[in-house]
């Protein structure tokens, strides 16, 4: 077995990257290299984990401009937004993990019952081994590195496959990572379906996938062959309920921000608005006003408005708008496929059967669907796959309670959108069709660890003596007796 170096490689821009190594040696070699690094024990010490997290911070801060430029090239977003979402947010998470690393990874003592004898019980958070992280394109650096730093903090070796749909960001990750992180334990493999399929053939200890649900089931099927556990960070249609007791102006500002940032290419963006007829027209006016406040009268000229990642996706969005039953266009509607531009678009009174309501939009189109009342709104949501996020704008406690008790979703936010994912204390993930598992902060440590149950027997009394064969008359009498029943039903915790 190779005993690998714990030292990160010093920066050397001309150096061959690990992606080149992976391309020539193939997925099995990359897997083996990560697995060997893990089995060598190099990734377990807290000192190594800390060093890797600190190196991620250094990598991001020293190369913030390059990273920002790559994201701007891929998604045409404003550089400040790119910095905030791709660099600052990951630095913040790495620092948060560093701050709490010792506490989150230490053994947790538990009280054990006298029925198993005197001794000590504890839960040991163990790294899983070699972890595959498959990233998505919409926040190409963030969605790749956030799981990677969680996996490293938990003491794993990691292979990252960034999304080929954001090629400049993917290249940037493949170039920078081996210059800063331990090259034996952290690899970046670039590529698309073929490369991902080859990687998925390997017996990983965990696969963490971000992307759409169709590929999610391919990932799960491949992982099932090796009984590899998966985390699936998927998407879907996240609704925003707005009723007449909410401030329509504030609701509109929040929804416009969450929906049109990154031109709607955000997994937790409100996908559609659900409201009642008495509120719908006024809400549409407020949404239009909020849109103009953010992007001016011609969003195409706004430096703050992103482009669609590819002409393929721009064409897909044009198809949704052309489908006919998509309600009245309140604002927007223009598409320039070659320029990857789709105008921020608000559609009022959209038919639930419209194409735009059959799939996750993942673009800057906001349908407003009208329902009769709260019950109809709840039924509408519950008749569809469980959303990744659910947003509820209301001033009514009864409505809040109804959404809490009668719906299920990965997360729920009252009177705002999207901000929950910035709180590392809250688990980020889906349920049902929107995914399985979660991460961020301590939730990442849980996801990338196995919680091993450990019991160390003390020297004193061993009650299993009483239940060992042969069962003679005395033992049988004792086991049927009151004291034995009480002991089995719930005895006092043992002391060592």
Q: What residues are annotated to the active site? A: 233, 267
CA 343 to centroid of chain Cα atoms: 28
Residue given tokens 């709104």 in the structure block: 377
According to DSSP, residue 83 is labeled I
* Residue number with CB closer to ligand NAD (197 or 476): 197
How far is residue 387's CA from residue 235's CA, in Å, rounded to a whole number? 8
How far is residue 480's CA from residue 429's CA, in Å, rounded to a whole number? 48
Supply the minimum distance, in Å, between the C-beta of residue 203 and ligand NAD: 17
Q: List the alpha helices (DSSP H) in 44-166.
A: 46-62, 64-75, 79-82, 89-105, 142-153
Token digits for 450?
């196995």
Supply the minimum distance, in Å, between the C-beta of residue 311 and ligand NAD: 14
* Residue number with CB closer to ligand NAD (117 or 264): 264
* Residue number with CB closer to ligand NAD (351 or 359): 359
How far is residue 192's CA from residue 279's CA, in Å, rounded to a whole number? 45
* Residue number with CB closer to ligand NAD (155 or 236): 236
How far is residue 65's CA from residue 212's CA, in Å, rounded to a whole number? 29
How far is residue 349's CA from residue 129's CA, in Å, rounded to a whole number? 51
* Residue number with CB closer to ligand NAD (136 or 370): 136
Supply the minimum distance, in Å, between the C-beta of residue 140 and ligand NAD: 8
Residue with nearest beta carbon to ligand NAD? 235
Main-chain dihedrals φ then ψ at residue 371, nearest 5 degrees: -125, 165
Residues near ligand NAD, by CB under 6 A:
134-138, 143, 161, 163-165, 192-193, 196-197, 210-212, 215, 218, 233-235, 267, 360, 362, 388, 430, 435
Supply the minimum distance, in Å, between the C-beta of residue 468 and ligand NAD: 51
Supply the minimum distance, in Å, between the C-beta of residue 239 and ligand NAD: 14
Are 486 and 145 a contacting pair, CB within 8 Å? Answer: no
Burial 112-132 (b: 16+ CB within 10 A, else e): bbebebbbbbebebbbbbbbb
DSSP assignment of 359-404: S---SSEEEEEEESSHHHHHHHHHTSPPPSEEEEE-S-HHHHHHHH
* Residue number with CB closer to ligand NAD (31 or 48): 31
Supply the minimum distance, in Å, between the C-beta of residue 196 and ligand NAD: 3
């Amino acid at each position: 077995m190779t005993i690998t170096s714990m030292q990160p490689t010093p920066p050397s821009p001309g150096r061959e990257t690990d992606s080149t190594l992976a391309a020539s040696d193939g997925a099995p070699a990359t897997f083996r290299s990560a697995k060997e690094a893990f089995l060598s024990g190099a990734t377990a010490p807290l000192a190594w984990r800390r060093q890797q997290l600190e190196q991620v911070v250094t990598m991001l801060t020293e190369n913030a401009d390059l990273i920002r430029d790559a994201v701007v090239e891929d998604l045409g977003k404003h550089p400040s937004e790119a910095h905030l979402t791709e660099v600052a947010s990951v630095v913040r998470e790495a620092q948060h993990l560093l701050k709490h690393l010792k506490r989150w990874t230490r053994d947790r003592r538990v009280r054990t019952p006298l029925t198993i004898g005197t001794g000590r019980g504890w839960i040991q958070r163990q790294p899983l081994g070699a972890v595959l992280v498959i990233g998505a394109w919409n926040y190409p650096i963030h969605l790749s590195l956030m799981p990677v730093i969680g996996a490293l903090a938990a003491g794993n070796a990691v292979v990252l496959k960034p999304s080929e749909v954001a090629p400049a960001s993917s290249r940037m990750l493949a170039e920078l990572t081996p210059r800063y992180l331990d090259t034996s334990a952290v690899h970046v493999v670039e590529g698309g379906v073929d490369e991902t399929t080859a990687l998925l053939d390997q017996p990983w200890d965990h696969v963490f996938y971000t992307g759409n649900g169709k590929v999610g089931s391919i990932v799960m099927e491949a992982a099932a062959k090796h009984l590899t556990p998966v985390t699936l960070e998927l998407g879907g249609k996240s609704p925003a309920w707005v009723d007449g007791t909410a401030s329509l102006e504030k609701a509109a500002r929040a929804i416009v921000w969450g929906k049109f940032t990154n031109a709607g290419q955000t997994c937790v963006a409100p996908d559609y608005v659900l409201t009642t007829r008495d509120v719908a027209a006024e809400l549409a006016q407020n949404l239009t006003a909020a849109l103009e406040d953010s992007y001016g009268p011609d969003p195409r000229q706004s430096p703050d408005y992103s482009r669609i990642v590819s002409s393929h996706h721009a064409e897909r969005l044009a198809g949704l708008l052309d489908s006919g039953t998509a309600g009245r266009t309140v604002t927007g509607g223009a598409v320039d496929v070659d320029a990857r531009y789709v105008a921020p678009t608000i559609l009022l009174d959209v038919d639930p059967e419209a194409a735009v309501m059959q799939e996750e939009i993942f673009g800057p189109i906001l349908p407003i669907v009208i329902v009769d009342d709260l019950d109809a709104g709840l039924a509408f949501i519950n008749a569809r796959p469980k959303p990744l996020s659910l947003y509820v704008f209301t001033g009514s406690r009864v409505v809040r309670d109804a959404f809490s008790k009668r719906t299920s979703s990965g997360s729920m936010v009252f009177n705002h959108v999207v901000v929950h994912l910035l709180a590392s204390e809250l688990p980020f993930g889906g349920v049902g069709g929107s995914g399985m598992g979660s991460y961020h902060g301590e939730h990442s440590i849980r996801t990338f660890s196995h919680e091993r149950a450990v019991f160390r027997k003390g020297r004193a009394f061993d009650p299993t003596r009483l239940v060992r064969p042969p069962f003679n008359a005395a033992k049988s009498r004792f086991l049927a007796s009151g004291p034995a029943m009480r002991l089995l039903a719930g005895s006092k915790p043992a002391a060592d």
